[in-house]
Structure 1
Amino acid sequence: MCGIAGLFLKDKSLEPDLGRLLSDMLVTLTDRGPDSAGIAIYGPAQAEYAKVTVQSSNPDRDFPQIGTALARSGISPRDVTLKDSHAVVTVDQSSLEEAKASLLSISEAVRIMGVGGTIEIYKETGLPKDVIDRFSIRTMGGTHGIGHTRMATESAVTTLGAHPFSTGPDQCLVHNGSLSNHNNLRRELKRLGMVFETDNDSEVAAAYLTAEMGKGKSLGEALESAVRDLDGFFTFVVGTRNGFGVLRDPIACKPAVMAETDRYVAFGSEYRALVGLPGIETARIWEPEPATVYFWEH
């Protein structure tokens, strides 16, 4: 049992409030999963720049080395923002791969949480409220975001095991449920060159969607393929650079509710996560259908 929250803004005037609104939604779902929590925030697009969100279990030792590590590769970062155990490093798009390698060379404790022109991912063990406060999520603006509060059933309670999982540029996934064929899929995806850092079945789902989109499919088409290829009980909420998608398995036994107004589209594992949203009293409220792809895009 886990809790999922997602918010896709249509009204630009709400963008400064994205972090606050999404944080309130996720905190409301705390009792669905108090082990760990995470949020992905999509901000303004930066065509010529890319952001690398990294995490360290020893940030006081590792983060002062970021500038030196990048300089060894001839990279001058545009910006480095430190937030507790995470750092967001902005570099030229052309030097992204070199920057990732340089950051990982700092120490074995440094991990990449997400990469892209718009995405920042923050996740840690602990209650959603504490994780949100650690990274000042309430002060963040953006166009859309997804969040997750976890009750670990398939793997250990660790930062890497927390959601969202990101396996492609500006793409991430949160998941409520359990996949039964994730080990077979993991082996197939490894043969395609995918790399996994956890035993979590949700990381496999994220990698599967990345691989399908690598074949030229849209996110919607990749999600349609997931209905065929993934076995188990699942609700996925997926974020991309421009969009926000939702999919439930053909049985749809996991709870899910959505709301839409002319200002936003929202997802919650339970309706109570949505009650604080502006104009919720006049929103169209519905339960997403089984095996049906829902997708919105800017």
Structure 2
Amino acid sequence: MCGIVGLFLKKEDLRPRLGDMLADMLITMSDRGPDSAGIAIYGDQGDGHKITVQSDTPDTAFDGLDTALGDRLGAPVTMKTNDTHAVLTVPAEALEATGAFLEARGLRIMGVGEAMEIYKETGLPRDVATRFGLRAMGGSHGIGHTRMATESAVTTLGAHPFSTDADQCLVHNGSLSNHNTMRRVLAQKGFAPKTENDTEVAACYISSRIAEGANLGEALSGTLEDLDGFFTFVMGTKTGFGVVRDPIACKPAVMAETDDYVAFGSEYRAFAGLPGIDSARVWEPEPATVYFWER
């Protein structure tokens, strides 16, 4: 079933409240997906690129990791640990070498980007939000997902969001019927999914289209032609987030917009507690239509 939330802030003075508002939205969707949850937060950009990694044994895996990586790169590395995740900031030109170093150590890369940080784990959404301190996080926008596993195991890697390109990530409610065929097509193009989750197939598809020269809107529109099944996709980027539903639009979705924000939820109750919601323009996204908001 799954639940999706998204929040795009139009005003800078709301940035410190992003995590708090997004946490309430995520937790409200718990009964749509109680087995795991994840969020992508787009915050401040610093010098270099952020790489979010995860480990089942963070105490040992993250001990001295920044020093060892800095020595390998011959460049400064900063690290921020958060429960089972850590965010490393490295020079942009060192991304490839950093990825190889981290994977050799058995660390799972959740996402890469100048602004994006991804946190996801198994467990109830309330517990996941608490573990990562979501309420204290600030930023310009974010998306989240509560999962009810249907097509693959309940694991950290099976949780959403999925990121297959810098500062891009995808969450999904629904099911794809041709994801195995698409896996073979994408592998031939060099975009092979790493998990059994069909959502990662969609994320890889969008990245492959962009690599071929499509813009983000064209790539999202392409899902309507090439991906079979029923779906609502919400995609985060460095500058905003986009929404697209399949032509039948059988999965629930609702949006709200005020002068302060744009919000997405699988159900209205996801954002019923947001400030100013009583005066918001509320609507159901049209089928087979791409919506996008960016700064």
TM-score normalised by L of structure 2: 0.98
Tell me the equivalent position of 2:190: 193
Which residue in 2 is equivalent to 1:27?
27
Looking at structure 1, the residues matched to 159 and 74 of structure 2 have their Cα atoms a distance apart, in angstroms, of 30
SS of aligned partner of 1:64? coil
> Once superposed, what is the RMSD of the aligned Cα atoms?
1.1
Q: Does 1:74 align with 2:85?
A: no
Q: Tell me which amino acid in the other structure corresponds to 2:59.
A: D
Would you say the 8 A contact 1:69–1:102 is kept in 2? no
Which AA in structure 1 matches 2:65?
A: I
SS in 2 for 1:73: helix
Contact 2:67/2:77 (<8 A) preserved: no
Return 5+ residue gaps in structure 2 as ranges: none
Cα distance per residue 1:32-67 (max 9 Å; x no partner):
010000000001233x41000000011112111413
Is structure 2 residue 141 aligned with structure 1 residue 147? no
Contact 1:75 1:95 in 2 (8 A): no
Look up the match of 1:42. 42
Matches of 1:78 and 1:24 in 2, distance apart? 33
Superposed, 1:105-120 pairs within 5 Å as: 105-106=104-105, 108=106, 110-120=107-117
> How do residues 134-213 of structure 1 correspond to structure 2 at under 5 angstroms?
134-213=131-210
**CA deviation after TM superposition for structure 1 residue 216, in Å:** 1.9
- Give 1:267 deviation, angstroms: 0.2
| Secondary structure at the counterpart of residue 73 of structure 2 | coil
Deviation at 1:75, TM superposition (A): 3.7
2:120 equivalent to 1:123: yes
Q: Is the 8 A contact 2:66 2:78 kept in 1?
A: no
| Cα distance, 1:235 vs structure 2 | 0.3
State how far apart, in whole Å, the 2-side matches of 1:182 and 1:261 are: 37
Which runs of at least 4 in structure 1 moved beyond 3 Å after TM superposition?
75-78
The structural deviation recorded for 1:79 is 1.8
Normalising by the residue count of structure 1, what TM-score does the alignment of the two structures yield?
0.97
Per-residue CA deviations over 1:168-215 (Å, capped at 9, x if unaligned) read 000000000000011111111001111322111000001101111112
Residue from 248, 251, 255 that aligns with 1:251: 248
**Equivalent position of 1:95 in the other structure:** 94
Instruction: Please give the alpha-carbon distance, in whole angstroms, between the structure 1 residues aligned to 2:144 and 2:40.
Output: 6
- Is the contact between residue 17 and residue 140 of structure 1 (CA under 8 Å) also seen in structure 2? yes
Whether the 8 Å CA contact 1:41–1:144 is kept in 2: the answer is: yes
SS of corresponding position for 2:53: strand
- Residue 132 (structure 1) aligns with: 129
Aligned pair in 2 of structure 1 residues 56, 77: CA closer, same or farther (>3 Å)?
farther
Give 1:105 deviation, angstroms.
1.9
Count of residues in correspondence between the two structures = 295
Do 1:69 and 1:103's aligned partners in 2 also have CA atoms closer than 8 Å?
no
Give the secondary structure class of the aligned counterpart of 2:214. coil
Cα distance in structure 1, aligned partners of 2:65 and 2:131: 21
Aligned to 1:297: 294
Match of 1:56 in 2: 55
- 1:234-283 CA-to-partner distances (Å, cap 9, x unmatched) read 00000011120000000000000000011111000000001111110000
Are positions 1:285 and 2:267 aligned together?
A: no
Distance in 2 of aligned mates of 1:24 and 1:115: 26
User: Residue 51 of structure 1 contacts residue 118 of structure 1 at CA under 8 Å; is this kept in 2?
Assistant: yes
SS at match of 1:153: coil
Shift of residue 72, structure 1, vs aligned partner? 4.3
Asked if structure 2 preserves the Cα contact closer than 8 Å seen for 1:66 and 1:103, the reply is: no
